[in-house]
Amino acid sequence: MTTTAQPTIHVRQYRPEDHATVTKIYIEGLMAADPDPKYRFLWHELVRKDLTNDLADIEGSHMAPGGNFWVATATQDGSSQVVGIIGLLRVSDDVGQIRRVFVDPNFQRMSIGRKMILELENWAKQHGIKSLFLTTNANNPKPQAFYASLGYTKVDENEYDWKEHQYFRVFKFIKQL
């Protein structure tokens, strides 16, 4: 019986040549957030907005204003591919917002999300950020448990403010570094 070795996972800073894969992982991850076809059009609207705003210029939207953006790569048999993404927006001198946390479904359950969060937290500490926050789907307990396991505390519940539909709840989590 032959067993395939697990890929080596590495988290590194985003590069412009990662852009196509980053947007693919983002779209697939976001579209999987809500299986209800009744509201699929809202997710398409959000993807369109994000791809023409911050994800159109990751360096300008995340990195230039004092934040950062990382990708996780999986290397196996000499081949490497981007399999995860995570961004940090600097909200103020000492507060950052974690955004765009997605892992390719084929590479989930390999601690990639955890590695990306830890890399982000270390970078944030080194750059004077003392507090981080994020929002996550209130209807999905898996990411809530994931963030809690990393020391994040749920502090708020909001409705996502769609233009006309306010059905999608998010929880806000914070962590002091």
Q: Output the tens digit of pLDDT for each of the chain's 177 residues.
A: 455 678 999 999 999 999 999 999 999 998 887 777 887 888 888 889 998 999 999 999 999 889 999 999 999 888 999 999 999 999 999 999 999 999 999 999 999 999 999 999 999 999 999 999 999 988 888 999 999 999 999 998 776 656 566 667 789 999 999
The arrangement of strands across the sheet holding 68-76 comes to 8-13, 68-76, 79-92, 95-103, 131-137, 169-176, 153-159
Lookup: tokens for 172: 């806000």
Residue 99: domain span: 8-176
Long-range (24+ apart) CB contacts under 8 A made by 39-42 are 39/165, 39/167, 39/168, 42/162, 42/165, 42/168
What burial class does residue 53 get, using C-beta atoms within 10 Å of its C-beta: 0-12 exposed, 13-18 middle, 19+ buried?
exposed
What is the identity of the amino acid at 96? Answer: G
Alpha helices (H) in 13-170, listed in sequence order: 19-31, 40-52, 58, 112-126, 141-149
> Structurally, how many domains does the chain consist of?
1
Residue 94 domain-assigned (yes or no): yes
Residue 90 domain-assigned (yes or no): yes
Residue 2 domain-assigned (yes or no): no
Q: End-to-end distance of the chain based on CA atoms, in angstroms?
A: 46
Q: What's 139's domain CATH number? A: 3.40.630.30
Q: Are strands 8-13 and 79-92 parallel, antiparallel or unpaired?
A: unpaired
